[in-house]
Amino acid sequence: MGVVLNLENGKRGSASIKELIGLTAADMGRVNELILSKAGSDVEMIPEIANHLISSGGKRLRPMVTLAAAQMFGYSGDGHVKLATSVEFMHTATLLHDDVVDESGMRRGKKTARMIWGNQASVLVGDFLLGQAFRMMVDVGSLDALDILSTAASIIAEGEVMQLAAAKNLETTEDEHFAVIKAKTAALFSAAAEVGPVIAAASRTDRAALRSYGMNLGLAFQLIDDALDYGGNSKELGKNVGDDFREGKVTLPVILAYRRGTAVEREFWKRAIETDAADDAALEKAIGLMTRHGAIADTIGRARHFGEIARDALAPLDATPQKAALVDVIDFCISRVG
Amino acid sequence: MGVVLNLENGKRGSASIKELIGLTAADMGRVNELILSKAGSDVEMIPEIANHLISSGGKRLRPMVTLAAAQMFGYSGDGHVKLATSVEFMHTATLLHDDVVDESGMRRGKKTARMIWGNQASVLVGDFLLGQAFRMMVDVGSLDALDILSTAASIIAEGEVMQLAAAKNLETTEDEHFAVIKAKTAALFSAAAEVGPVIAAASRTDRAALRSYGMNLGLAFQLIDDALDYGGNSKELGKNVGDDFREGKVTLPVILAYRRGTAVEREFWKRAIETDAADDAALEKAIGLMTRHGAIADTIGRARHFGEIARDALAPLDATPQKAALVDVIDFCISRVG
């Protein structure tokens, strides 16, 4: 696909999360043990559903960010393992509820939990994981970390409602859209990064640096995800190209193509997004229009912009392997397109 | 209905929550303000849905229990108001998710939020309220209270999944059923009561007393609710008689009637509960069978048993107006049948 090849020109060849994986390997082993133990329950359906999602090959980016951010400031206890696990549980709970809300059939190349166990179980097991996440945070005992993560939980839900209220609204402005993805995606990355310095009793400046890093990384991550839906590689993505389109999701590539389009093109978008008339022919046409208007390339441009802010947020910090690894994460996220 | 008249013989004439309402009136004013402010959001749908449920005339028993339990041990700060509000938000979030899971159409005599705004919004606004509940708890700063309430959140969700897994299973034993209602209903009453002495820095003995009071009050409360569904007054209940039956819920009156029934009767129950064949004629027959086997009367008997345990849990405590009011709550709950 032409658009994909184009993007590869801007890709950093070395972008990888190998460094991050290496630095956090030992701690992630403990996170994985804790995940299994805290997703356990005598009520069989709970570990079944939790493990379905947890074992389905997500990258566990968020908990690795928490671990690296704590290591970076010399943290030596085991609280970061619990907080990292809490962050992953919050993320998993959100995915379970998201799939119900979006009526999604596939996630990461597997059937969603709601397709196997039903919406009801997905809602309730999500609630259970959220409860377990809070219990682990409480166990760590840092009121500051609790404040950050509970605030993130509210903001994420608020962002999801915002998205629901704006669903299929093609008049959504870019700013309104950024407000949604800031809340529904970036807030958790931000919290995941900030609790690292918090638990390591780092300075307010360091906390602010990691918070800003996480927020902007999260925005870049979501925008790239949205771009991938119209030009990525289905295998890497774990979902099919065009999933967002078929679900009538108004993501940034759509917003840009719609705003830049002719009156006739806008009619096409309305039909496709608002009336569930999005078949394969419509998807092909949509990608054609996006390419014509540079909508995918510019979505990636916006992502790069946030990536640069994330990089500069960390700039004043001492050079450490963890800092280098966190910078690599930015490049990795952006290099996923192509 | 004969069964109802029968029960009135056992009703305590004076049972009322007037004392509790009077003692907590000033604090409840602050709870109500906090509810409105913390259910607020720029995302319009959030306060709309939250207020729909919050203003729909629940008794607010749980937050009143928290307030009275804190007053009882001389608490003088404002943390109990925040914890009471958190408890009510947790309850409201549970109701929103419950109605989605149960596909309920009516709650407290009004259309459920899911009928007006849809399942998606109900799930997400529930998540938001849960997030706000945790933020308020964090704001109070008591790790013990956080531990109690976050543990309750996990247990409630676990109980709901347990109930879902056992749905329409007429072979459920009474003990298995008690495990479900202990988790899904009594755990929150227990937590609501225990955080009172916790925040007032009362003794471990006092904490244990209030915890036990709340747990047993919650069990009694749920059993009476289940009995009311087969013999209560629709106006008082805010739902129609037979709602549980039509939804195929296996509550204690059903479990007792099924276990005590003949083979032919058990066939009737299987048809009615397992195959959604529960019309008005079936409901009439169900109530007839329950009456024949004393299933409703004995459900109320079990509730009285737990009520007595709740009363004895408070027995060693000094006589205070709060203690008297909390004992009245037990009688009030049980006197609802009739």
- What pLDDT is attached to residue A239? 56
- Choose, out of A119, A120, A168, A198, the residue to mutate when testing the contact with B (most B CBs < 10 Å): A120
Residue B11 has pLDDT above 50, yes or no: no
Q: Report residue B228: phi and psi, to 5°.
A: -60, -30
Position B20 scores a pLDDT of: 97
pLDDT above 60 for A232:
no
**What percent of chain A stands above pLDDT 70?**
93
A55-104 per-position pLDDT tens digit = 776 789 999 999 999 999 999 999 999 999 999 999 999 999 998 888 88
**Residues B104-159: tens digit of each pLDDT:** 887 777 888 888 888 999 999 999 999 999 999 999 999 999 999 999 999 999 99
What per-residue confidence (pLDDT) applies to A281?
92
- Is-contact A248 A167, C-beta < 8 A? yes
Pairing of the two strands B106-107 and B110-111: antiparallel
pLDDT grade for A243, boundaries at 50, 70 and 90: confident
Residue of chain A nearest B134, judged by CA positions:
A150
The reported pTM is: 0.90
Work out the angle at residue B253's Cα, subtended by the Cα atoms of residues B251 and B258, and round it to the nearest 5 degrees: 95
Domain A2-8+16-335 grouped into CATH 1.10.600.10 = yes
Q: Any chain B CB within 8 A of the CB of A97?
A: yes
Q: Which of A113-122, A141-150, B10-19, B169-178 has the lowest mean pLDDT?
A: B10-19
Banded model confidence at residue A336, pLDDT cuts 50, 70, 90: confident
pLDDT tens string A100-133 = 888 888 777 788 888 888 899 999 999 999 999 9
| Confidence at residue A241, expressed as pLDDT on a 0 to 100 scale | 83
Confidence of residue B199 (pLDDT cuts 50, 70, 90): very high
**B-chain residue closest to A176, CA distance:** B43
Q: Which fold would CATH assign to domain B16-335? A: Farnesyl Diphosphate Synthase (1.10.600)
Q: Looking at A33-47, A98-112, B160-174, B242-256, which range is the least confident one?
A: A98-112
Does A1 score more than 50 pLDDT?
A: no
pLDDT value at residue A276: 73
At residue A236, the pLDDT reads: 52
- pLDDT at position A50 is 84
Mean residue pLDDT across chain A: 90
B241-269 mean pLDDT: 94
| Alpha helices (H) in chain A, listed in sequence order | 2-8, 18-38, 45-54, 61-71, 79-102, 113-117, 119-140, 143-165, 174-181, 187-199, 204-228, 234-237, 243-246, 252-260, 263-269, 280-292, 295-314, 321-335
CB contact under 8 A, A131 and B141: no
pLDDT surpassing 50 at residue A7:
no
Cβ–Cβ gap A156/B131 under 8 Å = yes
Comparing CA positions, the residue from A136, A152, A37, A185 lying closest to residue B153 is A136
Range of lowest pLDDT (B29-38, B50-59, B187-196, B233-242): B233-242
Do the Cβ atoms of A185 and A273 come closer than 8 Å?
no
- Number of residue pairs across A and B with CB atoms under 8 Å? 134
Nearest to A43 among B124, B131, B162 (CB): B162
Q: What are phi and psi for residue A335, nearest 5 degrees?
A: -75, -5
Q: Is the minimum CB–CB distance between B175 and chain A shorter than 8 Å?
A: no
Is A336 or A304 the better-scoring residue by pLDDT?
A: A304
Which amino acid is located at A157 in the chain?
A
Q: How confident is the model at residue B1 (pLDDT cuts 50, 70, 90)?
A: very low
Residue B338: its pLDDT value, please? 54
Give domain limits for chain A: 2-8+16-335
Contacting A residues, span 16-55, partner chain B, CB-CB under 8 Å: 41, 43-46
C-alpha distance from residue B139 to each of A212, A249, B134, B136 (Å): 23, 36, 8, 5
Mutation test of the interface with chain B: which of A82, A117, A123, choosing the one with the most B Cβ atoms within 10 A? A123
- CB environment A289-322: b (16+ within 10 A), e (fewer): bbbebbbbbbbbebbbebbebbbebbeebeeeeb
Say whether pLDDT at B200 is over 80.
yes
How does the average pLDDT of chain B come out, rounded? 90
Of A15-29, B21-35, B45-59, the least confident:
B45-59
Mean local confidence (pLDDT), A202-221: 97
Q: Nearest CA to A27 among A82, A73, A74?
A: A82
Per-residue confidence at B236, pLDDT binned at 50, 70, 90?
A: low
Higher pLDDT, B295 or B276: B295
